[in-house]
Structures are given as C-alpha cells and as structure tokens.
Amino acid sequence: MKTLNEIDTTAKRASKAAGFSWGIAEEIGKSIESLELFGLPGVTNLNLYLKKIKKNHPEKLNKIEKENRLKNKELCPIYCGVTFLDKCRQLETLQSIKYYNVSYPLLILPFISKVSELLGKKILIEYNKSSFLLNFNKFIFSKNLDNQVDSLAKEMRIEFLENKDFFSEENWKELYKLSEETFVEESESSKTKGAGAGFIDNE
Amino acid sequence: MEAQLRDPNTVMKLSKLGSFHQSKFSFLRSFLKEFKDWDFKRDLFDLDENGFGKAIYSFKKNRRTYSLVSFTNKITDTERSDRVIATKWDAAFALHDGIPSQKDIERLSENVPKQEAGRVTCKELSLARANKSVRIFDHVVDSLSQGKQPDKQLLSKVGYLYRTTAVYGSGKCGLADRFRIKDRKEICGPFRLEMMLVYLVRQFTFDQINHIAKLKNPNKAIKLDNDIARNLGIGNSTGLGLAPFIVNHPILLNNWIYCREKALKEIRSIEKIEAKDFNIFLDCLNRSKINIDSWLTESDYQKNKIKSLRSDLKKFNQYLENNCSVKIQHLWNKIYTWVESNLSNEGIEYIVSMIMEPYDNITDPLINKMSAQEEKYFTIPAHRKLKEVKKIIENNYKSLIKIDYEDKKNITNFWFLSKNKAEPRIANRYQEYGSELEQPLAIGRDVKQLYHRILEANQNDTVAEFLLYNDDLRHIVRRVFIVEQFPYSEIQDNIIGASLVPIDLLRLKLSFFGANKFDPKSDKWLRINMYQGAPLPHELKFSNDTWIYNSLV
C-alpha cells in the first residue's frame, strides 16, 4: 500500500513535470492525498489527466461567474478548483455555479471540499449521474459514482447549501423527549438549595 | 524586566544556525527522558559466530510496545559505502509498532535489508541501515576475545562501532504516515521514533560485538566494559538530504527555534537566580568542556569553529569568575548580554544551550510544542490584500529582498533531485545541466520576485486576483503567510548564492537531534555522533538528563 506521504510527493512532482507551477503542484499533491483518504480514485484520475495535458497545457478561466465555459475547450479541474478555493468567499454569494465541459471532474472535489470547511457550509456537486455532498472536509458522501473515472463532465453544478437541519422537527422533539429521561425530577428543596443563583437577581 | 525574543532576522542567519549546539531541546535527550521508565527487553538474539542474523529489542509500557527488528549481513569491503546510492549495508533495521509476529519477521527479513528497494508497511514506524566502523569493530572484537578491554584512545578517535547512513520515518518506503500515530503522547516530540531506533541500534552493536568475541574465543573472551560502552554512541553520515527538509518544513523549523528562543527569553527574565540552579549551570559547563577537547576533525572549517569556541569559553570563564554572582539581579540576562557582545556565534550559542540546563520547568512544557501540524496552514488566505503581503515581506524578509539576484554570484547554485534514489543535490547552474528542474528552494530570490510584482500591482487587489495571473509564485505566497504567523520559519540567507556553506544547514538540524562531534568531510557532508555518554538501557530508569556531559573522552 502506498502511503499518503508518497501519494502527496509523487502527485506534486508529476504535476510539476506536466507543466503546473510548483505552487499549483503543491495544491495537487495535497488534493490527491485527500481524495485517496476519502476512498476516491485520485491517483488514477490524476494520472490520466496529466497524460492528457502533458503536451497541451490547459487554459485557465480568469473569472468565475454563475455559468462558466471555455469556447471549444475543456476546463481544467485543477485550475477551476484552485480558483474556486481562492475566491470562495466571493463565490458563496452566487449560491449555485455551473461549469461546462470539465475534464476529469473528480479532481475538482478536494478543492471544493476544502471550501466547505473554510466557509462552514455543506456543498453539493452534481455531474453526469453522480452527486457528492461535501461535509466540511470531514467526509464526502457520494451517490451513483459508477465509474472510477469520468473523463468529462458536460455540465457540473456546484451548490452551496444553507446551514439547516436535515431532520424534521417532529423527529427532534421525540428524541429530545427521550433524552429528558436522564433528568431528575426537581423538588422544592433542590430548586432553592441545589442551584447557583437565586430566583431573583437584580444586581 | 522582561527580556525580548531574539530577532528572527539575526537568529535565522546561517552563520548563527550553523553554530547551534545540542541542548535540553535536543530530540535524543527528550526521547530518553520520555522513555526512561519504559521496560527494555531483548526479545530475540539469533546471530551466528560472525554476528550475522536477526535480533529484536523492545520498549514496553502498559499496553504499548515498540520493537526494533535488526538484520545483519555479510558484505565485502568494496560494497560498504555511506552514500545514499549504496545498495548493501552491514546492518538494516526497522522499528515495528507492537510485537512482530513470525509472519512479520519473515516479511521484514525479505524487505528491510533492501531498504528503499524493499517495502515495509504501516506496521513499521522507522527504517534505517548502518555500516561498521571496520577498524574499531575489528579492534574491539580482537581485544575482547583476548580477554582485554579495547584501547580507549583508539575508541575515542571514532566514538562508535556503527554509523547509520539513513534513518527514515513518516510515510517513506511504506512506513506509517504521521497521521496514524500523531496522537500518541509518548511520541509527540519531533523524530522521537527515529531517536528510539538509533538508541536501540546502539545497544544491538554492543550485544553483537560481545557475541562475536565470545564465540571467537569462548574460554578467554570478556564483555565490553559498561563504562567504555557508555562512551560509545552511534555515528551518522549525513549528506545534503537534510538541507531541503529544513526549507520544506517551515512551521516545524519555526517551532524548534521558537521553543529554544522562548526558553531563553524566560530564563533571561528571571530576577533572582537560585544558587542550586547556578551550580547546575557551572557543573554542566565544566563537564561539557571535555567534549570540546575530544572533538576531532580534519576539516579546517570545523577546526576554526572549535578554535573560536575554545577561545570564547576561555574569555567567558574569566568573565564568570570576575563578574558573576547569584546576588546580581537578572544575572542570566547580564550574562547573555555580555556573551552577545563579546563572543562569536559558536560561543554565544554554546552558552545559550548551557543556561537552559537548570530549567526543566521552563523547557519541558515547550518540548511538547516542537512538532507541527503543517496542513493547518497550507491553505492560502487568498481574500487578503496585496498591501498586507507587501508589509509581511518588508517585515520578515528584510535582508533577503536587498540581495541582487541579477548578479550571477547570488544565484550560482540550484538544488535538484538526482534521478537515482531522488537524492537532493546542489550544483552550479552555469556549469551543470538541469537547472530548469530546480527545486523550489530559492526562497530569497522568489520572495524578491513576488515583492517586485506586488509593487507593480494594485495594492488593494486580493491575493486571489493576483494569483490568477501569477501562479508561478503561488508556492512563495504560501510561505509569506506562514512566516507572518511563524517568524522563525525562514532561513534569512540566500541558499543559492556562491558563498553558501551547506553544512551549516545540516548542523542546524543535527544540533536539534542532539548530535555531538560534528566532523565535516566536505562542505556537503559530515559525520556526527549520537548518544555518546548516554545511559545503557538497564541504567535508564535511574539516569539523569545531563548524561550528555558525562565524560566524553
């Protein structure tokens, strides 16, 4: 089994060799390490993507808007991810962002996952038939990830989810009621002697 | 009066860092302190009459066990090399997490002797190899087998039976990644597992030599005297590999230096010094001088440093006798101030190490803060403004941005990784090819470039906007935000200039390891000694942390 240290170092060096700057290569090393830690096929996707771009380095989007595409070209998941991370505080206000024709879309995930941690918001990513719920960079919940490798996402939607409860009020009330069974019934005496401050406190 | 932390722009100069000595913060001392009440055991010792075979040693406490698994092999004299490119060694070792099963031992026996060409698993925590000091080894075997103790004079010239040529940890060659074990309290200090491995190897070398001597002449052989064994350490040959490590781990570097500086600041702030503490300082200082007298090297560079240290200590002694008394308030601060004005860097840093000796209460809590969680500071705060970056650079890279990097002599060298074993090397960019594959270690040059580009940009732009068009400088932007929070994270010297002395970088790291007897063999590699004077495993429980000053003749 390869160690995370080896995955980070090798991904970084390979990315530099494929034409990325050292700073971006460092980001890639950490991102692939994170994908593998989440149990997602980071090394496989990176290897295929780097082979694809080694002789034809991808262009960058210099601005991220609500909808993003490069005319007749595929978007680089690394550049999209890094820029998304750098500009996440501005992008949060857009609530939902779309990218068209993203190469090896899985590679964007760790950057957005980091954004989820930085902003303290869950983020949903959907492309092809797969969807991913990113939870504060603690874990990634994936649905319909049939292919280990998707070489292209024709349309990718990234949505910032508002912080809200993912359960019903009724469920909460029932659970709370059960938790009350750990409380002790109060007596007149415990009310006056067992607590800190008095009933009236005007100081 | 409260003393101030020393200025990073002074402390982080290579001439300063290259004059650091071991101290209470050294990893091998803090390792022994932590493990002194662990149970040591030799679990297996299966060597033939030549000392070839396998052995297992362990440290155990409560439900935790760490085991050193050793393999020794026959190699020819022509195969013995300390270079990283070697493929065979006299001995190879792995530190196993727990008690190795028979299956583990078989797996390790197939892989550990091959080192990088083999593969270990996350059940292993450190990996190393070592070569005999043949001259000393043979002399000791001959003497013991003849019923005599070896010649102490000869031993003191080398100081060890074996020297390690590489000690790996954290995710190399399949070893456990740091994240798997980082919450274990007993190994929270840096390199603690590597230090454990080396300490256990030292005991193995004594057991092996006694074993060979005994089988060579069963009726006459005697065991190596404990006093002689205690004065033997483990040698280490160290090349350029250590240098990029320091640059690539800025937060770790900061924490090492910061803890030492914080301790110095607190000690200098002590108003009234207890006589017993002053006596500990005097005792350590006097005992330590033997180390300097027995410090042998053929390097002129090191000889000059030793000479200057000797002369410093002579001056200091006079000052101490004539001007120092515990009746003086803030005596440590007075001593430090005098030392700083009157001694060379060698002398200053020597005394700094010494005045820490009485103060476990100050150093112990800091030792636990010497590791680093570097991933926490990896993400660039790209929402911040360029004018903030400009200010950070001006405050933290003062001397580096004054250097003219257009001048050839200031960019003579480049750091690269050789294809064979990914060995870090340095070369002249005007004489060797490969500078286009330069590693991102030219911090000064790149910071200056960043500074110039920021001056040309709109200062109110965010870093995110700047990086869209300047991603070639992304690696250095990350460092700038690190140094803002960790002021001792950057070496304040140009490490690609023609005047660079790479062994200064090595000495910095090795002083934190706790190495003694720095012996440069060129400007790019040196030999050192570790654990010389250290208590033997059966003496650990009753040992004192100042063992490092035991007679090191």
The model's pLDDT over B300-311, given as tens digits with 9 standing for 90+, comes to: 888 888 889 999
Asked whether residue A170 is assigned to any structural domain, the reply reads no
Q: What is the mean pLDDT of chain B?
A: 93
What does the pLDDT look like over B213-254, one tens digit per residue?
Answer: 999 999 999 999 999 999 999 998 888 888 889 999 999 999
Helix (H, G, I), strand (E, B) or coil at B64: strand
Please give the pLDDT value at position B80: 84
Would you state the pLDDT for residue B302?
82
Note whether A118 contacts B379, CB cutoff 8 Å.
yes
B464–A86: do the CB atoms touch at under 8 Å? yes
B419 touches chain A (CB under 8 A): no
Looking at the domain assignment, is residue A175 inside a domain? Answer: no
> What is the number of structural domains in chain A?
1
| Tens digit of each residue's pLDDT, chain A (203 residues) | 899 999 999 999 999 999 999 999 999 999 999 999 999 999 999 999 999 999 999 999 989 999 999 988 999 999 999 999 999 999 999 999 999 999 999 999 999 999 999 999 999 999 998 999 999 998 888 887 777 899 999 999 999 998 888 899 999 999 999 999 999 887 877 777 777 665 566 65
Last residue of a domain, one of B185, B201, B218: B218
In a domain, B391, yes or no: yes
Asked if B181 reaches chain A (Cβ–Cβ under 8 Å), the answer is no
Q: Measure the CA–CA gap between B304 and B298, rounded to whole angstroms.
A: 11
Asked if B121 is an interface residue toward chain A (Cβ–Cβ < 8 A), one would say: yes
Structure-token match 């990644």, residue found: B177
| Record: contact B476-A23, CB cut-off 8 A | yes
To which residue do tokens 């006056």 refer? A192
pLDDT at A142: 85
Tens digits of residue pLDDT in B25-74: 999 999 999 999 999 999 999 999 999 999 999 999 999 999 999 999 99
pLDDT at A201: 61
pLDDT interval class at B519 (50, 70, 90): confident
How many Å apart are CA B518 and CA B301, to the nearest integer?
11
Does residue B310 form part of some domain?
Answer: no
Dist. CA B6–CA B20, nearest whole Å: 14
The reply to whether A66 falls in a domain is: yes
Closest partner CB to A22 (pick from B177, B464, B475): B475
Task: Using the predicted structure, report yes or no on whether residue B552 has a pLDDT greater than 60.
Answer: no
Q: Could you tell me whether strands A130-135 and A67-68 are parallel, antiparallel, or unpaired per DSSP bridges?
A: unpaired
Tell me how far apart the terminal alpha carbons of chain B are, to the nearest angstrom: 41
Structure tokens at B215: 């089988």
Structure tokens at B141: 């075997």
**In a 10 Å sphere around its CB, with 0-12 CB exposed, 13-18 middle and 19+ buried, how is residue B553 labelled?**
middle
Average pLDDT over residues B363-379: 94
- Flag whether B296 is in a domain: no
Residue of B nearest to A60 (CA): B468
Question: Are A24 and B471 an interchain contact pair (Cβ–Cβ within 8 Å)?
Answer: yes
Contact residues, chain B, for A5 at CB < 8 Å: 170-172, 177-178
Torsion angle in degrees (nearest 10) through CA of B358, B360, B362, B367: 130
Q: How many CB pairs under 8 A join A and B?
A: 69
Residue B473: list chain A partners with CB under 8 A. 21, 23
CB contact under 8 A, B383 and A4: no
Query: Amino acid identity, residue B285?
Result: L
Whether residue A77 is contained in a domain is answered as yes
- Asked whether residue B528 is domain-assigned, the answer is no
Chain A: residue whose CA lies nearest to B440:
A22
| Average pLDDT for B502-525 | 86
Most confident of B179-183, B372-376, B394-398: B394-398
Of B91 and A147, the structure prediction assigns the larger pLDDT to B91
- Choose among A22, A62, A89: nearest Cβ to B468: A62
* Residue A161 or B297, more confident: A161
Task: Supply the pLDDT for residue B522.
Answer: 81
Residue listed under structure tokens 């500078």: B435
User: B418 CB near a chain A CB, below 8 Å?
Assistant: no
* Last residue within a domain, chosen from B439, B465, B485: B485
pLDDT for B553 equals 47
Q: Does B172 touch chain A (CB under 8 A)?
A: yes
Give me the number of domains chain B comprises: 2
**pLDDT level of residue B367 (50, 70, 90 thresholds):** very high
Which of B300 and B405 is assigned the larger pLDDT? B405
Domain of residue B51, residue span: 37-132+161-218
**pLDDT given at position B551:** 61
Q: How distant, in Å, are the alpha carbons of B5, B419, B446, B501 from that of B437? A: 38, 11, 15, 22
User: How far is C-alpha B165 from the chain's CA centre?
Assistant: 14
Residue of B nearest to A8 (CA): B171
Residue B211 forms part of a structural domain: yes
The partner residues of A124 in beta bridges, in order of sequence, read A133, A159
Helices marked H in chain A — which ranges? 4-17, 22-37, 42-53, 77-86, 88-91, 109-119, 169-179, 188-193
Query: Is A122 inside a domain boundary?
Result: yes
Show the domain range for A29. Answer: 4-160
For residue range B143-189, list pLDDT tens digits in order.
999 999 999 999 988 999 999 998 999 889 999 998 899 889 999 88
B441 to chain A: closest CA residue: A22
Chain B residues with beta carbon closer than 8 angstroms to that of A136: none
Mutate to test the interface with A, among B127, B475, B482 (most CBs of A within 10 A): B475
Question: pTM (2 decimals)?
Answer: 0.92
